[in-house]
Amino acid sequence: MEYKQLVAFIKKEFRHILRDPRTMLILLGMPIIQIILFGFAISNDVKNTSIAVLDPGQSVTAQRIIKRLDASEYFNVTYILSHPKEMTPLFQEGKIQMALLFNDRFDDRLFHTGDASIQLLTDASDPNQASMVAKYATTIIASCQQELVKELRIPMQIIPEIHMLYNPTMKSAYNFVPGVMGMILILICAMMTSIAIVREKEMGTMEVLLSSPLKPSYVIFSKVIPYFALSVFNLVTILLLSIFALEVPVSGSLFWLTMLSLLFIGVALSLGILISTLVRTQVAAILISGMVLMIPVMLLSGMIFPIENMPLILQYLSNIVPAKWYIRAVKLFMIQGASAKYAIKEFAVLSVMLVVLIFISLKKFKDRL
């Protein structure tokens, strides 16, 4: 008798989801689209980028830098310019993506004043690509400078003048797959679960259900199970896509990756239930899950911005974001191919979070209005 109720309510929940095809399409399509989008970003790797150089002084150091750039796998020096004007058509025709302009007394300045600058001009019509190119070039120039300091034993500084801001998205795009996994799971489990429960409050159906002998925990359970199923489905899609379409390997244990994901899904679902006990309207549920979950997941989990570069206070704050621990462990398993014992800390943290969240949301869940 009891299980019949649960089955009936789970069925009902699936009906709600299936009869709202738009939402379902978004839920099932989003991971695919995100993976493909980020997969596209991967193909933007800097390799054999054509550059032009202008070195009117033909100084020794400048030539050394140019050779070094050309020798790297990242750049090909395809044009030697004699006047800055020549650069514009090359950029416009897309023949080069970067130009290096040296001062005509480059060595002179470097050895006498101790600092000289190189102008780095990049084609910023694709800002991500441009900043990536600039970053690679700067790194090569910097290593050249270090060698010079060692060889000549005089303090000097080469300043590459780039007119672009440091773009942190230059981290290896491999990192996006774990990030997307964390985000999708939080979104579906926490946001959709909380919306589904709050909708019952908003529509007034919760009032009728609570006044019936139906156990309130069944209401919750019947919400959790369909979204759990959806999350598992999405998880499988993401993994298949990243392995076969993006060729991101799962170099570690697939078993532990799955266990970790199930644990994280549990955390996200209990977060969703917790949110649903705190708010009364669907709009509030969306706002809270958006503000409290999505933004921290994107900003504080290390998905976009490296945690190491954050101010200390944000680094501390990032510790309470479940997705941070999840994403970190996923990276361990997927990319670094680590075994489970290296992720014990992440497992432990997520388990504690799960227990605490379930405890709080059970305490908070009322069987009255």
Partner 1 sequence: MKIKVSHLTKAYGTTDALQDISFQVPDGQIFGIIGPDGAGKTTLFRILATLLLPNSGTATIAGFDTIKDYKKIRNIIGYMPGRFSLYQDLSVIENLELFATAYHSNIRENYHLIKDIYQQIEPFNDRMAGKLSGGMKQKLALCCALIHKPEVLFLDEPTTGVDAVSRKEFWEMLRKLKDQGITILVSTPYMDEASLCDCIALIQNGTFLHIDTPGKIIDSFPKRLYAIEGDQRTQNLQQLRNNPYIDSVYLYGDRMHLTFKEDPDPHLPEVVLVTPSVEDCFIWLMKKDSYE
Q: Where does the chain show beta strands of DSSP type E?
A: 49-54, 75-81, 98-102, 115-122, 157-162
Coil/strand/helix, residue 369: coil
Q: Which of 3, 22, 212, 341 touches partner 1 (CB under 8 A)?
A: 212
* Contact status: 16 vs partner 1 (CB under 8 A): yes
- Binding range to partner 1, per CB under 8 A, among 3-11, 67-75, 93-101, 139-147: 3-11
* Contact status: 22 vs partner 1 (CB under 8 A): no
Binding pattern to partner 1, positions 214-233, x when CB under 8 A? x-------------------
* Count of residues in contact with partner 1, rule CB under 8 A: 23
- Binding range to partner 1, per CB under 8 A, among 27-35, 53-61, 199-207, 352-360: 199-207
Joined together, the tokens standing for residue 100 give 């290096």
* Contact status: 155 vs partner 1 (CB under 8 A): no
- Binding range to partner 1, per CB under 8 A, among 5-13, 60-68, 246-254, 313-321: 5-13
Q: In this complex, which beta carbon is closest to partner 1, that of residue 108 or of residue 207?
A: 207
- Binding range to partner 1, per CB under 8 A, among 174-182, 204-212, 243-251, 329-337: 204-212
CA 136 to chain CA mean position, Å? 21
**Which residues lie below 8 Å from residue 79, measured CB to CB, with a gap of 6+?**
50, 51, 52, 53, 86, 90, 95, 96
Distance CA 305, CA 297 (A): 11
* Contact status: 58 vs partner 1 (CB under 8 A): no
Distance CA 218, CA 319 (A): 32
Q: In this complex, which beta carbon is closest to partner 1, that of residue 175 or of residue 277?
A: 277
Distance CA 298, CA 304 (A): 6
Amino acid at site 69 = L
Distance CA 282, CA 289 (A): 10
Distance CA 201, CA 220 (A): 13
Amino acid at site 219 = V
Distance CA 4, CA 215 (A): 13
* Contact status: 38 vs partner 1 (CB under 8 A): no
Cα angle: 334, vertex 166, 328; to 5 degrees = 20
Q: In this complex, which beta carbon is closest to partner 1, that of residue 91 or of residue 218?
A: 218
Q: Which of 155, 165, 172, 213 touches partner 1 (CB under 8 A)?
A: 213
**Applying CB under 8 A, which residues contact partner 1?**
1, 4-5, 8-9, 12, 15-16, 19-20, 203-205, 207-214, 368-369
